[in-house]
Structures are given as structure tokens and as C-alpha cells.
Amino acid sequence: MTQPTAQIVMRNRAAVAEELRRLLPKMEGVRAARPIPFGLAAIDRHLPQGGLACGALHEIVPEAGATPAAFGFLVALLVRLSGTNPLFLVLPAYGLRDYGRPYGHGLRALGLDPSRLILVETAHRKDTLWAMEEALRSRAPAAVAGIIDQLDLKTSQRLHLAAADCGLPLFLLRPAPSLPSPACGGGWEGGSATATRWRVGPAPAARDRFGLITRARWRLSLERCRNGRTGEWMVEYDHVAHRFSLAAALADPAVSRRAGEEPFRRAG
Amino acid sequence: MLAVTGSGGPRIAALNEAAEAAGLILGEPLADARAKAGEVQTRAIDSAADDAALRRLALWATRYTPTASPWCEENGADGFFLDIEGAAHLFGGEERLLADLSLRLEKNFGLPARLAIADTPGMAWALAHFARAYASFLPRPAEEGDHAQHGGGGKYESSEQAMPPPPRFARSPSPASLRYVGADKHVILPPGQEAQALAPLPVEALRLSPDTCRTLRRLGFKTIGALLDKPRAPFAARFPAELLRRIDQALGRIEEPLIPIVAPPVYHTLRYLLEPLLTQEAIVALASRLMQTLAQVLTRDDVGARGLRLSLYNVDGAVETIDIALTLPSRNVAHLMRLIDLKLEKLAAAEDAGFGFEAVGLAVTRAERIAARQDELIADDDAERTESCAQLVDKLRQRLGPHGVRGFAPVASHLPERAEMLQPVAAETAAAWPEREQKSRPLLLLPRAEPTEVMALIPDGPPRRFRWRGVTYEVTGAQGPERIAAEWWRQSNGHHSPGPTRDYYLVEDSGGHRFWLYREGLYERETTAARWFVHGLFA
């Protein structure tokens, strides 16, 4: 009898794990009915409920020097939130300073209607956190995005709870050069209540056959994913259709072209 | 005691009652005064401090009526007008108002004021200044009974600085002659009697320039009555327009607009307190009661507040005003109180309640129509969202300041750095962005284009390698140029030339970072050594 029991236990374990995976989000009080799907099965498979949970905190961390790419990814996520409700971006004074400031025409180029975005500029950290929480609690915006350099466990829990209570997603971009990368010591683990953490790196853009840039590309790595699995992808973002797709590495004419060949068109 | 100023030697700018009694005259050279009166104490006049004090006093007086207008130079700058039309009954009539004002001026500020109430500001001014001196010429009251409008003026000086007298005017019905109040110091003129009251007063009572007064006196016109009898045409021809204008203003033939010290509110309520308020909670609690009163009126008129002003009248006479602007008109008491609370919290550190606040006023400075709808049963999800969004913006703005919450607005300009601006979010700014353009624009724009060293194969070609912030980037692809010429039509002021043309390139380096570079100046036409800049970053 021992062997069948073991088999049953094994089978049960898989079923129980599956069941738990289904129940856990509910037990954690994530209320949002509809998650935000990437529309990309490869990624959605890794996320619980098949998309980014609505009432949750999501972190976006740039690789060194990739803040613009990370911000682009953040904007792309915001674009995927349909509707006309405003989006709040909380921008502290240090914000993206080294990398300039969000540019309306550029947001538009990525497919985000700039008049939908409300910029909240704060002078200190206290105000930044307060503004994010107020924005969430009012339930007025479709999503809240913020930029913050330091985030401890307690603060992140608080923000996560605020997001969960109101069923709104909170995206935090953390341009934190001073923070240790996971490779050198795992200072991240347990440091945050975030539901997902995305690390974004730059990648050569997709080009058409004339060598013109058509779609931005990013290296995405899902480093943490509560109730889901981590993963790495190379995605490209279509700003016209507002869609992500997986980049086919060798389909890029610019990359496959031999070195030394003039890869771009010269105009004017 | 004399306040003294200098012009052709020191002259008397203000004097107290004892000096007046000694026969000294305003404007007299100080030397003459010394000869006449012997010992005089003098101080240099500090008109800036006087102006500030007058302003404070006028602000303080807004407790009686929202329209307080400090006198400007031509009125003597030593008093103010209060428009008490419709406000006098709140204080139990004009006489009581006058008594209350006089008492508080004396008690709070130590100012012996001269006050007068008349139908026109000009009349009130004349009475405040000359009613006492010419009391014997003016009609005495026949019987008890009525009053009219008034202006008041007081004149005076306190230990340090000369302070000013106020007139006010208001109106009330009924006939009778001048009434004297409070030991003959203050007067009330019933309506319709301007001409009689004005007649015995000297021409100076018309607020004319000294030159005009001198000419009139030389011609034998000593009283205003003498002027009133004469035909107007010769006066119009020989005197500056101010003469007839002042007469007409005093008689109410033409309007004299008053410039209120603060914009008069649309709706206003004020409460006096027996015990001064000291704590923020108490202020908010009282403000919320005031708001409830206002909300009823707002609901009746189908409007909501877009601007609110909370005035805190300190026991020591200072007035603290708090202005609040709203994104959408609202009459939601809870929401408005949260805003006031936030604002007070922000002020709390800087503000000292001192002895406390003896009166609190709440005014709606800007009202706008709001669509009628039920407050309780909200079916309209969109409207609710819009409103909660407006409330959120208001709240954030109270703490972060008016520039803390902004939205993007497009600007019609070719220059990338001018092509948009950040504007405070408001309901009416529905920014119309141009059609989606095919031109590439960076996601992040540097506040100032940063110079960069670029290696290009040919002087007017795309960059092959560039160095920016200490890092060298190998360009694997460059797209462009997009030529953007400077806005030559802007060259008017200051700069002699509109600046060179720019050629923009979107470049990508081997690591996948994308930059927006431009070369300044057309090669061989505008410059021989083109300079390069990094202007923005793409996602």
C-alpha cells in the first residue's frame, strides 16, 4: 500500500498546489476582478490570473543606464489600461532628473494620450508617499505610477495595501543606482511587498527593411512574481496597436546585416 | 506731536489735536510752526509704514462689509471707505455700526477716528474731514429719527506712526438733517441732503488739488455752496475737469467706483466669537458650520464654489486670509473642509495664532453653475469619477502648491523645448493635441540640451560615435536628419539672431540605448565647426 499512497500524495500535492495557487490571491485580498493582461501568452502564463493584478504594487527596476527604457515600459503598461480615466504620475524632485523630464510628444509617440496623464510633483519623500496613497484612496485614477528611489518593507506593504484596498494598480519605477543588484547579495529579497518586479534593459530596436526604427525593444526580466513564476523575455512594443510581442531575435534586418554596411537611410 | 516731511524745507504732514488747537496748519513749513507754537515735537513721516498700516486697517474693517477701500494719494491716504450698503442692519443700524467701529478702532488700535456716513463716498469724505470744524454752519437735526448713508473718516496719530482716518458710505431710507453720534465726533447724513450739507463746507472738502483750491479761493469761492449756485459752463472751461467731477461725485450725480482692498466675494458669511479660537480643529469646526450655511445658499442658486476665502480675524487686529481654488465647482461641505484643514495644517508651522481669533469669515470668491443632480443617489459613474478626480487634484494642490499638480498642454511651436508646457490641471483645459505625427519624439527631454563630442564621417553627416557624460557610445544606427529651423519671428526682443538651424538625429548605440542628438548650424552656411547636443532620450 505504500507505493500507491506515495503516488496519491504526489498527485494530490500537484492538485493542492494548483488549488492553492488559485486561492492565494483571494486570501490576500486582491480584489480586482480583471487583471491587466500583456496580451502575450508567453508572459501571461507566468503571472497569476493571467495578467498583472490590478490591486497590487508592481515594481519596475532599470538596469544601469536604462532608466529611459524602464520608463518606456512603464508608459507602455499605462497605455494598456483602457478607458479615459486619468493616470497619475508622482514625480519627486530627484525623479528622473538625470534623464530629463517626461515629454508629452514622446508619450504620444508611445501611444499614451498626454492629456490623460496628470503629473504630481513633490518636494520630499513624505509628500511623494502621501500623494501616491491619496491618489489610490480616491479611486479616481485608472492607475497610479510613481518614481521612488528608496523603499523599505514597511512602506511597500503600506502602498501595496492601499492599492489592494482600492483595486488600482500602483507602478513604482525605482531608478536606484545605489541599491544592490540581486547578483551581488540579494538585498532585494524580502525587502518589498511588491507583487511583481520587472527589470528592464535596453535592446536594439526593431527595424523595417529600410533600417528605420519601428518598434522599441526591451529586455524584460520578471525577477519576482508572487504566486507566479519568474522569467526573461525580449519584447517589442507596438505603439500603434498598443501591443507587446516577442522579438524574433534574427528577424531584425539591422542586426543581421553585415558590419560595415551602411545600415541607415540618410535623408534631407 | 507732528509728523514731518521734507520739500522745500520740512513741512507739517500730520498733526495732533493739541497742535491743531495751537493754530498750526497742515502743509505749513516747520519753521513757521516753531515760531507760532514754540515747542513742537517732530518725527519724520514714514509713508510706507503708514500705507501698510492703512492696508492692515482696511483689511481688518472687512469684518463690517466685504468692500473696504483704503484711500489712495488723492484722498489723502489716511483713511478708508466702507460700502455698508446692506450691511448696517447686521450691526443693528448705522448708528450702532458707527459706534462699534469707533469703539474698536479706539480699543484695538488706539485710533481716535472721525467717521461719517453718507450716500456718496465724496460726501462722506467731506463730512469726516470738516463736519466738526464747520458744525455750527451745518443743519442740526430737527428731530430724532433717521439716517442715511455715510462715509467716515478718522484722523489720527498713534505713538509711532501716523495713522489714517476712514470714511464709509452706505445708504438707508429717510429724510432728516445731519445726525451727530458719539460726542459730535461722527456724523450721519440722511439721503438726498447732499447739497444742503455740502454748501457750508470749504472748497477743500471736495478733494481737489491744492492748486485748484488756491485758485478758487483767490476768486472768492470759499464755500462749496458758492460754487453750486453758479452755472457750470464757465467752470468747465476754466478749471480742470476734477472740479465738476468731484462736485458730481459728492452729490451722487456720477458714480465713484471704489477699489476694494480684496475682491468682493460672491457669497459671504462671518461669525463673531465670545471666546477667541486657538486650535485648528476649532477653526475647521466653525468653518464647516459657516460652510453649511453657505451651502444652502449655493444649492438654492444652483452654483458651486470655485474659490473660497477663509478670513481669520485675530484679536490683535491682524487678519489671516486663506485662499483656496478648486478644480471643479463644489458645495460639498466635507470636501471643502478637508481642503481647509490641509491648508491650515500647512500654515500651522508658520502661523502664530497669538491671542486667538475673535471672528471667522468664510466667503465664496468665485461661483460657477453646477449641473443639478442628486447628491445622494448617484447613478452616473463618469460624473462621479470626474468629481472624485477633481477632489483629489484639489487635495493634492493644497499640500503641494498650485504647481504641484499639472498636466501637459501642447504649444504650437516647432522647437521641441517650446512645443509643450505644463499647466495646472483645470476642468476647462481640454488640450487639443495635434494629430499623431510620424516624426519621432523622445520620451524624456533633457531640461537643457547637453553638449556632446561627436565623430561623424562627413561634417554634415550622421554621427558615428559620440561621447556624453563621460561615456563613449558607438552608433549602430542613425535616423535623420529632421531639420528644425529656429523661429525667426521671435527674434524681436533682446537676441539679435534667432539661433542656428538644428538637424536632429535619432541614434541607437550598440547597447540599444536610443538618443536624440542634434547638430547646431548648417555646415558651411551658418557655421564651419558644428556643435552637437544630446536633447532627449528614447525608450
A-facing residues of B in 354-393 (CB < 8 A) are 385, 388-389, 391-393
Is the CB of residue A141 less than 8 Å from the CB of residue A86?
A: yes
Listed residue (B111, B129, B106) closest to B205, CA to CA: B129
CA distance A15 to A4: 16
Strand partners, B321: B311
pLDDT digits (tens, 9 = 90+) for B358-410: 888 888 888 888 765 555 444 456 677 777 888 888 888 888 887 888 888 88
Condensed to tens digits (0 to 9), the pLDDT of residues A206-239 reads 888 877 888 889 999 999 888 888 889 999 888 8
Confidence tier at A82 by pLDDT (50, 70, 90): confident
- 3-class DSSP state of B49: helix
Question: How far is the CA of B197 from the CAs of B126, B188, B250, B381, in angstroms?
Answer: 9, 11, 10, 65
Question: What is the grid cell recorded at A180?
Answer: 544592490
Contacts with B433 from chain A: Cβ below 8 Å? 104, 108, 113-115
Q: What integer pLDDT is reported at residue A75 of this predicted model?
A: 93
- For A71, other C-beta atoms within 10 Å of its C-beta total 28
Closest CA to A147 of A183, A100, A81: A100
Q: Is the pLDDT of residue B430 over 90?
A: no
Kindly list the domain boundaries of chain A, sorted by start residue. Answer: 37-175+189-256
Q: What SS3 state is found at B524?
A: coil
Sheet holding A196-207, edge to edge: A243-246, A231-238, A213-225, A196-207, A57-62, A170-173, A143-147, A87-92, A117-122, B405-410, B420-424
Shortest alpha-carbon distance between residue A201 and chain B (Å): 9
> Would the CB atoms of B441 and A100 count as touching at under 8 Å?
no
Residues of A in contact with B478 (CB under 8 A): 264
- Cα dihedral A180, A184, A190, A196 sign: positive
* Residue from B338, B378, B392, B439 to probe the interface with A (highest A Cβ count within 10 Å): B392
pLDDT at A250 over 70: no
Please give the residue of chain A at the shortest CA–CA distance from B430.
Answer: A115
Examine the pLDDT at B13 and tell me if it is beyond 60.
yes
How far apart, in whole angstroms, are the C-alpha atoms of residue B502 and residue B531?
10
3-class state of residue B314 by DSSP: strand
Mean pLDDT across chain A: 79
The pLDDT tens digits of the residues spanning B304-318 come to 888 888 888 888 777
CB contact under 8 A, A105 and B419: yes
Q: How confident is the model at residue A131 (pLDDT cuts 50, 70, 90)?
A: very high
How close does chain B come to A136, measured CA to CA in Å?
10
Q: What pLDDT score does A120 carry?
A: 93
Which residue in the set B431, B444, B539 is minimally distant from A101, CB to CB?
B444
Position B144 scores a pLDDT of 31
What pLDDT does B152 receive?
A: 38
Helix A153-166 vs helix A125-138: crossing angle, to nearest 10? 20
- The domain locations on chain B are 2-44, 67-251, 267-394, 405-438, 444-538
Q: Which residue of chain A is at minimal alpha-carbon distance from B515?
A: A68
Portion 109-148 of B in contact with A at CB < 8 A: none
Neighbours of A186 (CB within 10 A): 11
Cα separation, A249 vs B314, whole angstroms: 73
Residue in chain B closest to A240 (alpha carbons) equals B436
| Mean per-residue pLDDT, B337-350 | 76
pLDDT of residue A71: 93
CB contact set of A207 (below 8 Å; sequence gap of 6+): A213, A214, A252, A253, A254, B477
Looking at residue B232, its pLDDT comes to: 82
Contact A169, A59 (CB under 8 A): no
Q: Smallest Cα–Cα separation from A171: which of A41, A65, A52? A: A52
Residue B301 is inside which H or E element, if any? Answer: helix B280-301
Residue of A nearest to B410 (CA): A104
Distance CA A197, CA A178 (A): 17
Find the range with the poorest average confidence among A135-139, B169-173, B352-356.
B169-173
What pLDDT sits at residue B146?
A: 30
**Average pLDDT value for residue range B42-61:** 79
Mind listing the pLDDT tens digit for each residue in B178-226? Answer: 566 655 667 788 777 777 788 888 888 888 888 888 888 888 888 888 8
Distance (Å) from the C-alpha of residue B425 to the closest C-alpha of chain A?
8
- Give Cβ neighbours of residue B99 (< 8 Å, ≥ 6 apart): B181, B182
Closest residue of chain A to B406, computed from CA coordinates? A119
Up-side HSE of residue A45: CA atoms within 13 Å toward CB? 6
Show contacts of B68-77: CB within 8 Å, 24+ apart.
B68/B260, B68/B261, B68/B262, B69/B258, B69/B259, B69/B260, B69/B261, B70/B164, B70/B261, B71/B164, B72/B259, B74/B207, B75/B125, B75/B207, B76/B164, B76/B207, B77/B47, B77/B50, B77/B51, B77/B164
Counting other chains too, the contacts that B37-42 makes at CB distance below 8 Å and 24 or more residues apart are B40/B2, B41/B1, B41/B2, B42/B2, B42/B3, B42/B4, B42/B10
CA quadruple B148, B151, B154, B155: dihedral sign:
negative
**Selection from A72-86, B71-85, B94-108 with the highest mean pLDDT:** A72-86
In Å, how far is B395's CA from the nearest CA of chain A? 8
Interface of A with B in 61-90 (CB under 8 A): 65-66, 68-69, 71-73, 75-76, 85-86, 88
Query: Taking CB atoms and an 8 Å limit, are B408 and A104 in contact across chains?
Result: yes
Q: B315 and chain A: CB distance < 8 Å anywhere? A: no
Q: Identify which of B392, B433, B506 has the shortest CB distance to residue A114.
A: B433
Q: What is the pTM of this model?
A: 0.65
Query: Hey, of A84, A99, A105, which one would you mutate to test binding to chain B, going by the most B CBs within 10 A of its CB?
Result: A105
Query: Which residues face A73 on adjacent strands?
Result: none
Give me the percent of chain B exceeding a pLDDT of 90: 6
- B441/A108 touch (CB, cutoff 8 Å), yes or no: yes
Which residues, numbered 194 to 253 in chain A, qualify as contacts with chain B under a Cβ-Cβ cut-off of 8 Å? 201-205, 207, 211-213, 216-219
pLDDT value of position A177: 53
Question: Any idea which fold B267-394 has?
Answer: Dna Ligase; domain 1 (3.30.1490)
Distance from CA of A224 to the nearest CA of B (A): 23
CB contact at 8 A, A131 and B393: no
CATH number of A37-175+189-256: 3.40.50.300
The answer for A 135-164 residues in CB contact with B (under 8 A) is: 135, 138-141
* Chain-chain contact of B511 with A202 (C-beta, under 8 angstroms): yes
Q: Closest to A204 (Cβ–Cβ): which among B436, B462, B512?
A: B512
- Minimal Cβ distance to A105: which of B420, B482, B513: B420
Of A23-27, A112-116, B277-281, which has the strongest mean pLDDT? A112-116
Per residue, the 3-state secondary structure of chain A, as one string, reads CHHHHHHHHHHHHHHHHHHHHHHHHHHCCCCCCCCECCCCHHHHCCCHHHCECCCCEEEEEECCCCHHHHHHHHHHHHHCCCCCCCEEEEEECCCCHHHCEECHHHHHHCCCCHHHEEEEEECCHHHHHHHHHHHHHHCCCCEEEEECCCCCHHHHHHHHHHHHHHCCCEEEECCCCCCCCHHHCCCCCCCCCCCEEEEEEEEEEEECCCCCEEEEEEEEEEEEECCCCCEEEEEEEECCCCEEEECCHHHCHHHHCCCCCCCCCECC
Cα B532 to chain centroid distance, Å, stands at 48
Q: Is the pLDDT of residue B154 over 80?
A: no
Count of alpha carbons within 13 angstroms of residue A64, beta-carbon side: 7
* Cα Rg of chain A, angstroms: 20
| Mean local confidence (pLDDT), B8-22 | 72
- Whole-number mean pLDDT of chain B? 76
B39: number of Cβ within 10 Å: 6
| CB < 8 Å to A100, chain B | 444-447, 536-537
Longest dimension (CA), chain A: 82
Q: How many CA atoms lie within 13 Å of A138's alpha carbon, on the beta-carbon side?
A: 29
**At residue B176, does pLDDT exceed 70?**
no
Please tell me the predicted confidence (pLDDT) of residue B465.
92
Contact B399, A130 (CB under 8 A): yes
Q: What residues of chain A, 7 to 46, have a C-beta less than 8 Å from chain B?
A: none
Residues 6+ apart with CB under 8 A from B401: none
Measuring CA to CA, which residue among B405, B384, B380, B382 is closest to residue B332?
B384
* Bond prior to B481 in cis (omega within 30° of 0): yes
Give the whole-angstrom CA distance, residue A256 versus residue B146.
101
Q: What is the pLDDT of residue A130?
A: 93
> Can you give the pLDDT at residue B418?
85
Kind and range of the H or E run holding B452: strand B444-456
CB contact, 8 Å: B396 with chain A? yes
Q: What is the grid cell recorded at B401?
A: 502648491
* Contact call for A68 and B539, based on CB within 8 A: yes
- The interface pTM score, or ipTM, of the predicted complex is 0.80
Q: Which three cell numbers stand for residue B386?
A: 470626474
Strands A87-92 and A196-207 come out as unpaired
Cα separation, A44 vs B194, in Å, equals 87
- A-B CB pairs within 8 A amount to 189
* B16, B3 Cβ separation under 8 angstroms: no
Question: How sure is the predictor about A47, in pLDDT bands with cuts at 50, 70 and 90?
Answer: confident
A266 contacts B461? CB cut-off 8 A: yes
pLDDT of residue B534: 93
pLDDT at B385: 75
pLDDT by residue (tens digit) across A142-192? 899 999 887 888 899 999 999 988 888 999 998 755 444 444 333 444 478
DSSP code, position B375: S
Chain B 508-527, CB below 8 Å of chain A: which residues? Answer: 508, 510-514
The gap between the terminal CA atoms of chain B, to the nearest Å, is 75
Q: Is the pLDDT of residue B424 over 70?
A: yes
Nearest CA to B24 among B8, B45, B9, B40?
B40
How far does B423 lie from chain A, in Å, by closest CA? 10
Probe site for chain A from B408, B460, B525 (most A CB atoms < 10 A): B408
User: In this predicted model, which residue has the larger pLDDT, A31 or B245?
Assistant: B245
Q: Does B427 lie at the interface with A, CB-CB under 8 angstroms?
A: no
Position A28 pLDDT exceeds 80 = no
Determine phi and psi for A248, rounding to 5 degrees: -85, 115
Please tell me if residue B503 touches chain A, with a CB cutoff of 8 Å: yes
- Are A131 and B396 within 8 A, CB to CB? yes
Q: How many CA atoms lie within 13 A of B403 on its CB side?
A: 5
| pLDDT at residue B394, rounded to an integer | 87
Whole-number pLDDT of residue B350: 52
| Helix, coil or strand: residue B348 | helix
